[in-house]
Amino acid sequence: MKRIKNFKLTRKVFSYPYILFMLLFIVIPLVLILVNAFLDAEGNLTVENFKIFFTERSSLIVLGNSLLVGVATTLICLVIAYPVAYILSKYNSGKILVLLFVLPMWVNFLIRTLATKVIFVALDVKLGIGTVLFGMVYNYLPFMILPLHTVLSSIDKSYIEAAEDLGADRINVFVKTILPLSVSGILSGITMVFIPTISTFAISQFLSNGTIFLFGDSINMKFEQGLYGVGSIMSIVMLVFVLISNFLMSKFNRNGAARGTLW
Count CB atoms within 10 A of the CB of residue 152: 20
Task: Tell me the pTM.
Answer: 0.83
Answer for the pair 78, 190: CB distance below 8 angstroms, yes or no: yes
Average of pLDDT values for 76-104?
Answer: 85
For the chain, give the longest Cα–Cα distance: 74
31: number of Cβ within 10 Å: 10
Give residue 256's pLDDT: 57
Rounded Cα gap, residues 160 and 174, in angstroms: 9
Q: For all residues of the chain together, what is the average pLDDT?
A: 85
pLDDT at residue number 72 = 95
Q: Indicate the domain borders of the chain.
A: 57-260
Instruction: Please indicate whether residue 9 or residue 21 has the higher confidence score (pLDDT).
Output: 21
β-partners of residue 45 are 39
Q: pLDDT tens digits, residue range 62-83?
A: 888 899 999 999 999 999 999 9
Please state the φ and ψ torsions of residue 108, each to the nearest 5 degrees. Answer: -55, 135
When pLDDT is averaged across residues 168-189 and rounded to a whole number, the result is 87
Decide which of 1.10.3720.10, 3.40.120.10, 1.10.357.10, 1.20.910.10 is the CATH code for 57-260: 1.10.3720.10
Per residue in 202-252, pLDDT (tens digit) is 888 899 988 888 888 888 888 888 888 999 999 998 888 888 877 877 777
Residue among 79, 106, 75, 90 nearest 149 (CA): 90
Residue 262 has pLDDT above 50, yes or no: no
> Cα-flanking dihedrals φ and ψ of residue 39, to 5°?
-120, 145
User: What's residue 193's pLDDT?
Assistant: 92
Q: What is the mean pLDDT of residues 113-141?
A: 93
- Residues making up the chain, counted from first to last: 263
d(CA 81, CA 171): 19
